Amino acid sequence: MTKNEIPYKPLWPSWKEATTFPSLSKNLRVDVAVIGAGITGLTAAYHLAKAGMKVAVLEQSQIGAGTTGHSTGNLYAPVDESTHSMDDKHNFHIRQLVTLSRIKAIDAIEQNIKLFGMDCGFKRVPFYLFSTQEDKNHQKKIERETRALDHAGLKIQNEAPNFPYQYTSMLALENQAQFNPLQYLQQFASIITDNNCSIYENTQVLDVEKGQSSVLKTSKEMIKAEKVIMATHTPKGVYGAHAKMETFREFALAGKVKQKSPDPGIYWHLQDNRKFSVRSYHGENKAYVIVLGDPYLTGNTSSNSDRINNLQVYLKNHFDIDQFECLWAGQNYKPADHLPYIGTSLTESNIYIATGFSADGLVYGTVAGTLIADMIMGNPNPYIDIYNPSRLTFFASAKRTAKENVRVLSNLAKTAFAPVDEKAFHDIKPGDGKITHIDSRTVAAYREPSGNMVAVSAICPHLGCQVRWNGEERSWDCPCHGSRFSASGEVLEGPAYQGLQPIKLTTKKKNKPSPDRKPDR
């Protein structure tokens, strides 16, 4: 099966009783408006509604269609960037609190599942970081991570029974967890909907008018809210946090195994200069292995066929794969100092942001939803300061911030001064997209499989960078802060509120010969 034939969607089967929610059909006034019905938004809405606040959750698509539903469902205390990478950025006390907040988030998910009797395959499993190569760098990395996790109070082991790989070095950590993130969200959404909390799907917020109360504008209706939570993975609009993060995408591939899949666990495999994250999943009497790896900067490459091929080779080399079942990708925002930004925005005290989760969105989303709800309710929370978006860690974050800003500026410069590609549309094959130039405008042109052309402005409406074609996902991706748009220009994710501006295409007719002009001989 080639990569083009693998269905492009996450593996997760829906919860059998999943319901749909209406779109917003009247103006509302609420205490708190939550933009985004992922794990961050629903966790915050749950706590706030339980405390008696009037909450509205606005989801531009459907529950689970965003980042949470595109995750791999792994819940772990060590951080994605590696816990030891925080050693020179944050003191011992902060590192301990970060680990503790993550452990508590996993516990909170488990408690919700037990409390509400949710059926989402939650299971406590071990976490492993290992190498199968005689590689000194890998060994050093695993040793440093062992020390960092040990300092953070976690009980590390260096062996594991029934390990599915021949490892050269390894650390094991018991009592981490896995679940089906889509089923968790779908059940959570049904549970939290009551008189205090309403959820609206297919309701895209187009702007937030800031003030003492904020006004959220959708295509027709409006919501007036005392507080707004941007639970959109990265805040919508323009915020300082955007300049302090790099945006990555990463493909995940699920293969159905012929016989036995590895024992449940979170397997982080260091191989050459990459890290592959592997887990098994059982659903509908089938066994799967999922691999995720090799992230790339969003909007910085137009072909990822090598990456996808690497994932296929990885699964085939390590497991008895019957067929590749699903392929999908998720986005993550890496913060400059390796800690998320969770709390009030720097400029508006009634707007709350939650971003910079790296690839740890399920755990940090739960941390964020709880923390923001506590802030709004005035409850004490020990993690407010460490995740505060205004924290002063200039020296810790200067390197990544500087690198990111240079990249953004160079992309802006290309928008204004890059040479124009004047190849005609007939070069664009069905299903393909290309940046080209029409009437002095930089145009993102896409040919639908039917042959029909669609053209939109190639300039990202967020802050003006030029988008790039993403061939595998058929989307226009912005390299500056990760806004993504469908092939026809609608917002998929990222900080942009508006889609790419449509451009009307006309077919030029050949000039008729002038009546007084003599015919050519």
Q: At closest approach, how far in Å is the CB of 299 from ligand FES?
A: 8
CA distances from 482 to 397, 461, 462, 467 (A): 19, 12, 10, 10
Count other Cβ atoms within 10 Å, centred on residue 196.
18
**90 or 462: CB nearest ligand FES:** 462
Based on CB atoms, which residue is closest to ligand FES, 96 or 501? 501
- One-letter amino acid of 169: S
Count the neighbouring beta carbons within 10 Å of the beta carbon of residue 492: 19
Is residue 241 at the binding interface for ligand FES, with CB under 6 A as the rule? no
Q: Does 492 bind ligand FES (CB under 6 A)?
A: no
Instruction: By CB under 6 A, name the one of 481, 485, 487, 489 that touches ligand FES.
Output: 481
Which residue in 34, 462, 485, 493 binds ligand FES (CB under 6 A)?
Answer: 462
Q: Yes or no: say if 122 and 179 are a contact pair by the CB < 8 Å rule.
A: yes
Instruction: Report CA torsion sign: 2, 286, 105, 228.
Output: positive
Q: Does 463 bind ligand FES (CB under 6 A)?
A: yes
Q: Which of 38, 494, 499, 500 binds ligand FES (CB under 6 A)?
A: 494
Do the beta carbons of residue 264 and residue 178 sit within 8 Å? Answer: yes
Min dist. Cβ of residue 158 to ligand FES (A)? 43
Spatial CA neighbour of 83 closest among 132, 131, 127: 127
User: What 3-state class would DSSP assign to 368?
Assistant: helix
- Judged by CB under 6 A, does residue 478 bind ligand FES? yes
DSSP structure class, residue 497:
S
Residue 159 structure tokens: 């062996």
- Nearer of residues 22 and 464 to ligand FES, judged by Cβ: 464
Tokens of 136: 């000194």
DSSP 8-state assignment for residue 460: -
Q: Does 236 engage in binding with ligand FES (CB under 6 A)?
A: no
Report if residue 181 touches ligand FES, rule: CB under 6 A: no
Within 10 A of 39 (CB to CB), how many other CB atoms are there? 30
Binding region for ligand FES (CB under 6 A) out of 8-16, 21-29, 105-113, 459-467: 459-467
Among 43-51, 380-388, 489-497, 506-514, the segment contacting ligand FES (CB under 6 A): 489-497
495 binds ligand FES (CB under 6 A): yes
Is 68 a binding residue for ligand FES by CB under 6 A? The answer is no
Mention every residue, 6+ apart, whose C-beta is less than 8 A from residue 302.
468, 469, 470, 471
Look up residue 195 and give its amino acid: N
Contact 278, 126 (CB under 8 A): no
Indicate whether 148 belongs to the interface with ligand FES (CB under 6 A). no
Of the two residues 252 and 467, which places its CB atom closer to ligand FES in the complex?
467
Residue 295 or 495: the one with the smaller Cβ distance to ligand FES is 495
Please, what is the minimum distance in Å from the beta carbon of residue 241 to ligand FES? 12
The reply to whether 483 sits near ligand FES by the rule CB under 6 A is yes
Binding residues vs ligand FES (CB under 6 A): 460, 462-465, 478, 480-483, 494-496
